[in-house]
Amino acid sequence: MTSRHLSCANRRKFLAQAGGLAAIAAGAPFGIGDVNVSAEELGPRKPNQRVADAYKIRHEAALFQKGLPVPAHDTNGDDTRYANAVGSFTKSLPHTPDGLVVPEAYEALRHALSTADPADFDAIPRGGVGKLSNPQSAFAFQMDGADSHHLGIRVPPAFASAEIAGEMVELYWLALTRDVPYADYAVNATIAAAAKALSNLSDFRGPKAGGVVTPGTIFRGNAPGEVAGPFISQFLLKDVPYGPYVVPQKVRAGLAGVEYMTDYGAWLNVQNGSPSPVPPFQTVPAANARYINDNRALSAYLRADFSPQGFINASLILNTFGLNALSPSNPYRSSLNQAGQGTFGGGEFIGMMAHAAHVAVLACWYQKWAVHRRVRPEAFGGAIHNMKTTTARYNIHPEILNAPVLTTILSNYGSYLLPMGYPEGSPTHPAYPAGHAAFAGAGATMLKAFYNEAFVVPSPMVASADGVSLVPYVGAPLTVGNELNKLASNISIGRDASGVHWRSDGAEGMAIGEAAAIAVLQDLRHCYNENFDGFSFTRFDGTPITI
């Protein structure tokens, strides 16, 4: 807060405090009562030299980031290609009965984003009680790592592309299989049908085995190790040592078979930013909470988690594995008389996890609002429904318009709308890239930098089919690196399981989160006093990196 935001009386108090702090920073004795105590500082640097060295580190870090190439931030063109904005994010703005945004409202949003004037954001019309989620954070700065505008991602699939058609087919199958336990994937007929349908798509980019999607690869991510072992990462299953408590990772999942926004009136209300006319999100009693055993439970977890939660929990779990679970470059791994805390220890790990997640979210929100404004799957489903039931015509690829899964959706729900896991549908910010994926990419990257990717997770577990218990996992060893990749995808692609994101939202969100964390680590690398050889780990694309 600066003095221009304060009342006159508070401004005088602020300036007095600032003057006192400046005097202390300049070396004035710090008074305790009536006694002046002179400072005695141990260390190789005198105060003025320390100030100069700190400035040098910050200045050189800023110059390094400034010197990196600036990405082009190309778009798929949908935002200007369609005058009716059918290919753009418009949720919570006023819509017409055919589900299209009122043009003046969308133009007000674009105008505010072009000026970044807070007053222009306040003038954006609302369609109901919903509010846009933090568009001004697209223009925020932070003091370390890469600037949020300095990180790029690939152009998202276009509204008319085969890739987005394939992603939408996957989302309909995710809705139909939300209640299938992961333990039953190998024998479930609906999962088999979904795998076959995804295998037949011309541009589906999920993982495959032998060129086809299988029950062992379906709905998983593409990073190394993600198709090995249980569907859910060990870091979402094992108990969390949370200070004086031990916290079982059980969730209160939504009720099986309860889907939302399958009625056109409810769907339109949600697009306008009004509540869906259905009962509140239903959960089972706390006593019946379960481990994450299916996509219904995973969706419930991802509706309520906070940004770095899964990765803070993973760090707490990793700390119980002993010194060998730390990165081989950690200087305290072999020290006889010292242990890490504020550096190379639990204190730093937790703090940097949260910080990297915040930096990643800023980069993500810039892409969401200022660059892409990608349509959400629920709105795409509305366009499909209107094409199938009215004379409306949009530029949608035939692989989704003619997909057999739509016949099943219509039979089960009475519409072609995408069944949603949450009554409110998606959050009120654009789809691309995914926020959960951004902080997941950042969190997993920080953990891979701080811990030993090759360390084998002890006593691995898997949720029982009903989620009531954990049972021992029997199979090939599960490494920390692979399980961290899996954790990132559980949290990013897991959002697809509720219908709120596209697969490519997750993949590119993880990529920008990884890039944001790497930039933070590049600055952090030069801040240590310890003998340190640098951070070494494997990126999501399988390439090694040393910082």
| pLDDT 10s digits, 225-252 | 999 999 999 999 999 999 999 999 999 9
Amino acid identity of residue 194, one-letter, is: A
Among 430, 379, 397, 415, smallest CA distance to 84 is for: 379
Enter the DSSP assignment of 245: E
Enter the DSSP assignment of 92: T
Coil/strand/helix, residue 397: coil
Residue 203: phi and psi, rounded to 5, are -145, 50
Handedness of CA 406, 411, 414, 419 (dihedral sign): negative
- The pLDDT of residue 288: 87
Sequential DSSP letters for 259-310: -BS-SHHHHHHHHTT---SSPPPPB--GGG-EES-SHHHHHHHHHH--TTHH
Burial level of 42, CB count in 10 A (0-12/13-18/19+)?
Answer: exposed
Whether omega before 433 lies within 30 degrees of 0, making that bond cis, reads yes
Burial level of 5, CB count in 10 A (0-12/13-18/19+)?
Answer: exposed
Q: From first to last of its 547 residues, what are the pLDDT tens digits of the chain?
A: 333 344 434 434 433 444 444 443 444 444 445 555 666 778 887 888 999 999 999 999 999 999 999 999 999 999 999 999 999 999 999 999 999 999 999 999 999 999 999 999 999 999 999 999 999 999 999 999 999 999 999 999 999 999 999 999 999 999 999 999 999 999 999 999 999 999 999 999 999 999 999 999 999 999 999 999 999 999 999 999 999 999 999 999 989 999 999 999 999 999 999 977 666 666 778 888 999 999 999 999 999 999 999 999 999 999 999 999 999 999 999 999 999 999 999 999 999 999 999 999 999 999 999 999 999 999 999 999 999 999 999 999 999 999 999 999 999 999 999 999 999 999 999 999 999 999 999 999 999 999 999 999 999 999 999 999 999 999 999 999 999 999 999 999 999 999 999 999 999 999 999 999 999 999 999 999 999 999 999 999 999 999 9
H or E element that contains 471: strand 470-472
Enter the DSSP assignment of 102: P
Rounded CA-CA distance 435/365 in Å is 8
Enter the DSSP assignment of 404: T
Residue 467 to residues 255, 288, 441, 489: CA-CA distances in angstroms? 14, 10, 27, 20
- Cβ of 539: how many Cβ atoms within 10 Å? 18
Phi-psi region of 229 (alpha: psi -120 to 50; beta: other; left: phi over 0): left
Q: pLDDT tens for residues 132-171?
A: 999 999 999 999 999 999 999 999 999 999 999 999 999 9
- Cβ of 413: how many Cβ atoms within 10 Å? 17
Domains of the chain and any CATH numbers: 78-143 (no CATH), 150-546 (1.10.606.10)
